[in-house]
Every structure is written in structure tokens, then in C-alpha cells.
Amino acid sequence: MMRIFLLCSFAICGLSCCVGAQSKWYTPFPYKMEKEATGDSAMVVSAHPLATQTGLEVLQQGGNAVDAAVAVQFALAVVYPQAGNIGGGGFLIYHPENDSIVSLDFREKAPEAATEKMFLDSLGNIIPNKSRYGVQASGVPGSVDGMWELHQKYGRLPWDALIQPAIELADKGFQITDQEALNLNREKLTFVRNSSIVPAFVKFDDWKKGDWLIQHDLAKTLNRISAEGRKGFYEGGTAALILREMEAKGGIMRAEDLKNYKSVWRKPLEFDYKDLHIITMAPPSSGGIILQQLLGMTRFYPLAQYGFHTAAAIHLMAEAERRAFADRAHYLGDPDFVKIPAKGLADTSYLRHRMRTFDAKKATISADLTAGIPPKESEETTHFAVVDWEGNAISVTTTLNDTYGSRSVVAGTGFILNNEMDDFSAKPGVPNIYGAIGGKANAIAPGKRPLSSMTPVLITKKNKVWMALGTPGGTTIPTSVFQIIVNMAEFGMTLPEAVQAKRFHHQWKPDQISIEEDAFSQQVQAQLEKMGHFVNIRSPIGRVEAIVRLPSGMWQGVADPRGDDTARGF
């Protein structure tokens, strides 16, 4: 009987997803995915053309960068379900033109019922996939509270007006891209296994490019958020549905977890690199400290003379990455729970000392490398960036963690819960789904935020915003941002060249340089292997979204060619 019910449900969903009613936010399909755009007033870059269009129209209607960011975030929750979300969380950096730079941590939190050993069996071993799939993998979502907090402090247009585009896109539908069709087809069974209902993301036949995705339940949830603000998610009808899903599927999140969730305004991490002033996230993001360490360790060497993707440059950068990730595993976690020696980890003398074992002709063995002793002190993710005509700039990275998070769609709400509990160290020394090793500093605890790699960045020159950038990609995020900056500051690339260039990544363990296909010439790869590096070819790394101020004063937006990402400006 269950098999017949599921098949019927698939068929009904298949019919409902084939027809859509046009909304005022509709863009003719196939979408025009502009990878580069210029404008003298404003710019939006995001992972989906409809989200980018939404942000641009908000700006054209008199909204500021914050208004556009809120609208883009909710639009991505509809049109980019693999990472755009209201069931996840993230970080942002905001630079008001005439005010102090701020950062907001709306990272998910462990429920109060969470325990340090909740993903271990009776023998102390990791239970496979328990921290990855299902409702227990979810931390308390922070995206809605984060957007509400941001808008309350800096927004200009009415809250409900900013969510209306997302409501229409969910209720009336939109046509999916080829990439989204492939992703949904791949996850069909995981959605069915981990949800108490058959969600809108599943249909009997395979999804195809141009099919309509209609999400009526999500539209109802967005309507509640539109009408009631944060209470429309963390209390009332939506909260009741989340708690019902937890009860049905064995979750541990409770009403108090939702009601008590709060985003945190944190002091941004700021440092200089040559003539660039870099502003990024402090912990619980590891990305900012890693970026600071990478630029700090490599600045002692003539990187520009080595040249782009030469064996010498790659070897140096990979060795710096190896050391930064070893430090990450030992020291970094939620600053509300553990003391992090952030200043010591970025101290110039310490970084010189970390590179004392660097051999220009030989790779370090990761098994022989541990975290340093700093001086004592007193996947799937998505990124978007916006600058407005007043000079305000915002850089936002938001996530469900893995692609489609926990694959658990809350019945009656239409949204996917995150699987951020996997970003904790379920067991010290055991890697998570991104291969990242963690220690006691990142152990699970009630109310704690898991360590993240998200690295939203704003860069200024002479006190004026020069660039906004970021990327998804799990542990590859800070190394991708590192390469964009180095490509431009050291190798003289334009922003389009820097974004399009092939990428590589090292994270201490596993002991390998991961590279995109054809990233290195055969000669360079042979040289690296002779030095002792193991080179592993993998899928594309990251999807960078970036905006830069050109010498003419115009804004240039660049969307990564690795996805459906789109840049638009005016």
C-alpha cells in the first residue's frame, strides 16, 4: 500500500509541477545568465538569475543594499533549494557608506537536547550518516532571524515588500535549469527517505530543464514570515509544523530552541594585505582566520615572481594551506564556548615560525605536521553580494551545509532543514563530510554554533569599498577566496580572469592537493609529484560571486561560470 501511495504522490506532484502561472517576477526561459555586468550605480551577483533579478528590482525601486540582500536571500530559498534557504544559516559583512562596518552571525545552533556523543554508537564509533541525513542532523535555523535582525537595523523598504517576490516565485512557480534538474533527480530517494511526506522536489518522472517547480507550502510559510516577521517562523504555525516533524522523525529540536534563537552581531576580522584592507568573519567562521594566515604566511615569499600556477607558487600556497588547516583543527570553534587565540594565530612572528619547516623543494608530510603554539593573548553553500547607489555594500554567505542539507522537508512548510550538526566534531580526529578534522574546541554542546568555513569578504582601498566576494564550497571556501585575492594582487589578473581561473585546494588531511580538471599542466603536475605532493583531480571548486570597483568608478559584477550564477547592474 505504501508503494502505491508513493507512486500516486509522485504522479500528482509531476502534474502540479508542469504548469505555472506567470508572476510579475517571471523571467522568460531560458534565463539569460550574465557572467559579467557593469553599472555606475548598483550591482547584484547571486547563484540564480531570478534571485539576481529580484535584488536588482528592489534597488531600482529605491531599496538599499540591505533591502536587496533580504529579498535575494528569500528568493534563493525558493529558486535555489540546494543551498538557498530559510532552514539554514550563515554570515554576512555589511559596510554602510557612512557608518561602521558590521558582521552578523546567523549560524545555526545545536538544540538544547544535543549531547557531545549523540552521533556515536555504544562502542564510541561514528554512526554512518546520522549527522548528515534526517532531522537529528539539523541545528536550529538562523536565516530568518538573521534577515529580520539585519532589516530591523538597516532596512529601508517594508519587510513584507521584500518577501513578496519569493512568495510569488514559490506559489506561481518557475522553470528549473538543467543543473537543478540533475540535482533534484540525484536526490529523489534521499528526499523520500528523510521526509514524512513526498515534497515538491520529488516527482515520478525525471525532472528536465524547463519543468515548472511549484511550492505552495513554501509560499504559505513565506506568507507567515511576511505578515509576522521572525515570529512567523520561530513561533506559531510554522514552529508547530517543525515540532510535529521532529516528533514524527525522532528529532530533538524543541519549542524553546526555536523561540530562543538569536543572531549575534560580532566584531569583524580586519587586516591589511599590501594596499588592501580586508574585512571578513571572525569565529565561529574559520574562514577569516585561515584567509589571514594564508596571506600572512605567503607574503614572506616572492609569489608574483613565481607566477600563476607554476610549481613554485602552487607548492608555497599548498604548504601554507596545510599549516592553516592544522591550526583550524586544534584551535577553532564557537567563541561563546571556547577561548580562541585569534590574535596569536595571525601574529607575524608566529606565521614566520609556522613556515620554518617549509622546504621550497619538498612537500611536508601532513602526518608529521601538528598545530603550532601561538603566543599567548591578552559544499553546499551559496554566496551573494550587493552594492547600491549610495555606496553601501554587503557580502553574504548562507548555507544548509551539504547540498539540500538534511534532505528533510518539514511537512506543510515546503522548506528543507540544514544538516549543520555534521560541522561539529562528532568525534575528535574523525573527518566530517568535507574531510575536515576537528578537535575538542568544536565538540557538540547544547546551544553551541558549529565551526564553519564560510568567508564573506569586503575589501576597501583608501576607505572606499573596492570589492565584495565570497563562495560556497565547504572547506574549499577560504582557499578559493585566497586564490581570487592572490590572482589579482600578485598575478595582475582582472576580476573575470581571477574568477574563471582553475582552482586547487589543500586542507592538511587528507594529504593531497585537490585540483579542478586541467588546472595544472602535465609538466607542473609532474614537478609537484616529484616534490612529494599527491595530486587529486576533483569536481569544480566553489562558485565565486564578486563585485569590484573599476578604475573608472564603475562597478563590475562577475558570476562564476561553474554554475547558473548571474550578475546584473544598472
Q: Is the pLDDT of residue 446 over 70?
A: yes
- Distance from C-alpha of 505 to C-alpha of 516, rounded to nearest angstrom: 9
CATH number for the domain harbouring residue 327: 1.10.246.130
Domain that holds residue 31: 2-263+381-442
Question: What number of other Cβ atoms are within 10 A of residue 497's Cβ?
Answer: 14
Regarding whether 253 and 194 lie in a shared domain, the answer is: yes
For 457-503, what is the HEC assignment?
Answer: EEEEECCEEEEEEECCCCCHHHHHHHHHHHHHHCCCCCHHHHHHCCC
In a domain, 113, yes or no: yes
Are residues 142 and 89 part of one domain? yes
Predicted TM-score (pTM) of the model is 0.91
388 and 484 co-located in one domain: no
Mean pLDDT of 1-7: 37
Measured distance CA(50)–CA(166) in Å, rounded: 10
Residue 456, in any domain of the structure: no
pLDDT in tens, 189-230: 999 999 999 999 999 899 999 999 999 999 999 999 999 999
Q: Are residues 249 and 304 in the same domain?
A: no
pLDDT one-digit tens code per residue, 466-498: 999 999 888 899 999 999 999 999 999 999 999
Per-residue pLDDT reduced to its tens digit, 104-143 = 999 999 999 999 999 999 998 989 889 899 999 999 999 9
Indicate if the pLDDT at residue 173 is higher than 70.
Answer: yes
Q: Is residue 387 part of a domain?
A: yes
**Mean predicted lDDT score pLDDT of the chain:** 90
pLDDT > 50? residue 355:
yes
Is 459 domain-assigned?
no
169 in Cβ contact with 79 (< 8 Å): yes
| Residue 494 grid coordinates | 582582472
68 and 215 fall within a common domain: yes
The reply to whether 549 falls in a domain is: no
Residue 112 CA: distances (Å) to CA of 251, 399, 447, 488:
12, 21, 6, 45
What does residue 375 show for φ and ψ, rounded to 5 degrees?
-65, 150
Do 388 and 349 belong to one domain?
Answer: no
Task: Let me know: does 540 contact 562? Beta carbons within 8 Å.
Answer: yes
* 323 and 194 housed in the same domain: no
Structural domain count, the chain: 2
Residue whose entry in the numeric block shows the C-alpha cell 534521499? 190
- Please check whether residue 300 lies inside any domain of the structure: yes
The pLDDT score that the predictor gives to residue 435 is: 57
Cis ω before 96 (30° cut-off from 0): no
How far apart are the C-alpha atoms of 453 and 476, rounded to whole Å?
8
Q: Is 73 helix (H, G, I), strand (E, B) or coil?
A: helix
Within this chain, do residues 51 and 190 fall inside the same structural domain, yes or no?
A: yes
Q: Is 398 among the residues known to form the active site? A: no
Q: Is 516 helix (H, G, I), strand (E, B) or coil?
A: strand
C-alpha 478: how far from chain center: 11
Residues 9 and 58 occupy one common structural domain: yes
What pLDDT sits at residue 432? 59
Look at residue 379 in the predicted model and tell me its pLDDT.
Answer: 58
Flag whether 285 is in a domain: no
Residue 127 confidence (pLDDT): 92
Tens-digit pLDDT profile for residues 134-147: 999 999 999 999 99
Query: What count of Cα atoms within 13 Å lies in the side-chain half-sphere of residue 512?
Result: 11
Residues 281, 291: Cα–Cα separation, whole Å: 10
Domain co-membership, 20 together with 58: yes
Nearest-angstrom CA–CA distance, 563 and 396: 18
Q: Which candidate in 381, 397, 403, 476 is catalytic?
A: 381
Q: 328 with 510: CB under 8 angstroms? A: no
Q: Per the domain annotation, does 563 fall within a domain?
A: no
In a shared domain, residues 429 and 496: no
pLDDT at 29: 76
Q: State whether 119 and 202 are in the same domain.
A: yes
CA 459 from chain centre, in angstroms, equals: 18
**Short-list 132, 183, 133, 188, CA closest to 6:** 188
Q: Which whole number is the average pLDDT over 388-392?
A: 94
